[in-house]
Structure 1
Amino acid sequence: MSQVLHTPPPTTKTGPATTPAESPAQLAARYGLSVSGARPTLREYVRRLWARRHFITAFATAKLTAQYSQAKLGQVWQIVNPLLNAAVYYLIFGVLMGTKHGVPDYVPFLVTGVFVWTFTQSSIMAGTRAISGSLGLVRALHFPRASLPLSYCLQQLQQLLFSMAALVVILLAFGVPVAASWLLIVPALTLQFMFNAGVAMVMARVGAKTPDIAQLMPFVLRTWMYASGVMFSLDKILADRDLPRFVHVLLEYNPAVLYIDLMRFALIDSFEAHQLPPHVWAAALGWALLAGIGGFIYFWKAEETYGRG
């Protein structure tokens, strides 16, 4: 008697076909989700930045007001500080080194150079620390990070405008008359602000990645200052030296020299047109556009990295 073992036929389940699982990107797209802190398009970034223009202005004003809030003289230091710098440079360079000889209206010449240079120097230094020195704000709130270096540059512009009041008094005290050329201050400062803001944004990105750069910048800026004719006439210094042509070109197109010369030409009547090379306005505009637009794009490209790490 044999026993046959029958295997039951396989049963099949009928039902709706299963769909493949969606990727996270597809799910995010379906429900309108976006990456937190993702970099917006350049156009959208500019729009957001413009929407926060009142914050930028208020932040700059608040920083300027708080700068000397603990000092007894308060905001008077905004004028006294650059004047003391000019007095030290006059003693060392004008008197001891004799650079004032052959330079008409040397005191207005020196003070104008010091004030204009301080605007660039302070903007770049503030920009270097704009992100690394404001990590609490960057990590707590969502806003275009370019607001920070721009607000610091605006703060330095406000500081310069306070100093300009003292500069006008000095000009009048040394017999420099009020002239229509003073109106050139507006375009000259506009171009310089664009340049300063662009370089400040470049340094803000570099400083956010490498905070130690802030320790090196004072030495770099001090070297740049000595090559910018702040305390002496570059034309007279170069006339006595046989230097290669490229050195002359580098000094002539030095952006700090350009903006200082424009301000001296606007304010001091003895600083005549022949002392202002024909390329100055075009070169000043070129530097402003190159630094302003290039620096802004360079900063924007790292927008999502600020405050992380």
Structure 2
Amino acid sequence: MSQVLHTPPPAPAQAEDDLAALAARHGLSVSGARPSLREYVRQLWARRHFISAFATAKLTAQYSEAKLGQIWQVATPLLNAAVYYFIFGILLGTSRGVSDYIPFLVTGVFVWTFTQNSIMSGTRAISGNLGLVRALHFPRAALPVSFALQQLQQLLFSMAALVVILLCFGVVPGVSWVLAFPVLLLQFVFNAGVSMVMARMGAKTPDIAQLMPFILRTWMYVSGVMWSIDSTLKHSNMPHVVKVLLESNPAAVYIDLMRFALIDSFKAHQLPHHVWAYALGWALVAGVGGFIYFWKAEETYGRG
């Protein structure tokens, strides 16, 4: 009786080694594999024109269906400021002891809106653009960065209205206005970093986008948008750790630096100690840390 001898199938590990060797021999690589961090930065820089054009297109299309169009870019934060002035400035009296309260409030609202909208749009950067993510191969970090850039462009449009308000209330332009540019740069890096963190989290758990408005609203209330942190801390017996947390809050840091740059009556003594160190530190921690955190999950975006 003859026996037929069959060659046993290769073990799984051996099969994987054979496939890897075959791919290497023909110069093949895994589709969508995460590149090295240096290569990822290079790819992102190579697509800087796409990032800028995508941000501008999003900004243009944002109010395309509204009759007033791009006017809403300025009208929305101004209306928010008017509501906050009525509730906090008049009804709750937070304007007491704050010089130039309307410029103080409007500056805070505009700067806070920049951070708020950057983070909200970043949270949906991947989950809200799955068609684009799955159709094209590009560094996914381009999406949250472009959304942060879109919000920066919107803030720059709004700054025209802010300047008019400052002039109407007797704020005279000075050399300190130049400080607004490094403040905006540091805030942009911070916003983009946090947006990348939230983009990765939102890609895995889309429900985070529903939770973020509550988190951001709470953050706004403790960031001195409608009230003066400096004046409040001077007349309170809060624990030292609470004072440190309020003063080092990144949103409050960028808001107060912008007020210091633009409003004459907002003096240096109203800023927390080492405020520029805080601003730079938050930008580096959020920008670099958020970028690396996002890059580590590059292979997972748009899958399953």
TM-score, reference length from structure 1: 0.92
Paired amino acid for 1:30: R
Paired amino acid for 2:230: D
Give the whole-Å Cα distance in 1 for the aligned partners of 2:227 and 2:128.
Answer: 35
- 2:222–2:246 contact (8 Å) kept in structure 1: yes
- 2:94–2:227 contact (8 Å) kept in structure 1: yes
User: Pick from 35, 53, 60: which aligns with 1:58?
Assistant: 53
Does 2:157 match 1:169? no
Correspondence for 1:96:
91
- 2:230–2:271 contact (8 Å) kept in structure 1: no
Give the whole-Å Cα distance in 2 for the aligned partners of 1:102 and 1:254.
Answer: 22
Does 2:198 match 1:203? yes
Give the whole-Å Cα distance in 1 for the aligned partners of 2:53 and 2:221.
Answer: 34
| Aligned pairs (5 A) from 1:184-203 | 184-203=179-198
- 2:229–2:247 contact (8 Å) kept in structure 1: no
Q: Which has the larger radius of gyration?
A: 1
CA-CA distance at 1:262 after TM superposition = 0.5
CA-CA distance at 1:276 after TM superposition = 1.6
Give the whole-Å Cα distance in 2 for the aligned partners of 1:258 and 1:141.
Answer: 38
Large movers: runs of 4+ above 4 Å: none
Correspondence for 2:228:
233
- 2:253–2:275 contact (8 Å) kept in structure 1: yes
| Aligned pairs (5 A) from 1:135-150 | 135-150=130-145
What 5-or-longer segments of structure 2 have no aligned partner?
1-13
CA-CA distance at 1:265 after TM superposition = 0.3
How big is each residue's C-alpha offset from its partner over 1:217-258, in whole Å with a ceiling of 9 and x where there is no partner? 000000000000000111222333322111111111100010
Give the whole-Å Cα distance in 2 for the aligned partners of 1:291 and 1:299.
Answer: 11
Give the whole-Å Cα distance in 1 for the aligned partners of 2:238 and 2:179.
Answer: 33
Give the whole-Å Cα distance in 1 for the aligned partners of 2:271 and 2:139.
Answer: 39
What 5-or-longer segments of structure 1 have no aligned partner?
1-19
Correspondence for 2:237:
242
Indicate the SS of the match to 2:261. Answer: helix
Give the whole-Å Cα distance in 2 for the aligned partners of 1:102 and 1:300.
Answer: 46
User: Pick from 80, 91, 106: which aligns with 2:75?
Assistant: 80
Correspondence for 1:284:
279
Indicate the SS of the match to 1:199. Answer: helix
CA-CA distance at 1:303 after TM superposition = 0.3
Task: Count how many residue pairs are aligned between Structure 1 and Structure 2.
Answer: 290
Does 2:255 match 1:254? no
Correspondence for 1:154:
149
Give the whole-Å Cα distance in 2 for the aligned partners of 1:173 and 1:242.
Answer: 37
Correspondence for 1:11:
none
CA-CA distance at 1:289 after TM superposition = 0.3
CA-CA distance at 1:274 after TM superposition = 1.1
Does 2:212 match 1:217? yes
Give the whole-Å Cα distance in 1 for the aligned partners of 2:236 and 2:271.
Answer: 20
How big is each residue's C-alpha offset from its partner over 1:179-233, in whole Å with a ceiling of 9 and x where there is no partner? 0000001100000000000000000000000000000000000000000000011
Give the whole-Å Cα distance in 1 for the aligned partners of 2:136 and 2:34.
Answer: 15
TM-score, reference length from structure 2: 0.94
Give the whole-Å Cα distance in 2 for the aligned partners of 1:220 and 1:276.
Answer: 25
Correspondence for 1:183:
178
CA-CA distance at 1:152 after TM superposition = 0.3
- Percent sequence identity is 78
Give the whole-Å Cα distance in 2 for the aligned partners of 1:45 and 1:236.
Answer: 46
Paired amino acid for 1:96: L
Correspondence for 1:272:
267
CA-CA distance at 1:112 after TM superposition = 0.2
Correspondence for 1:13:
none
Paired amino acid for 1:259: Y
Correspondence for 2:31:
36
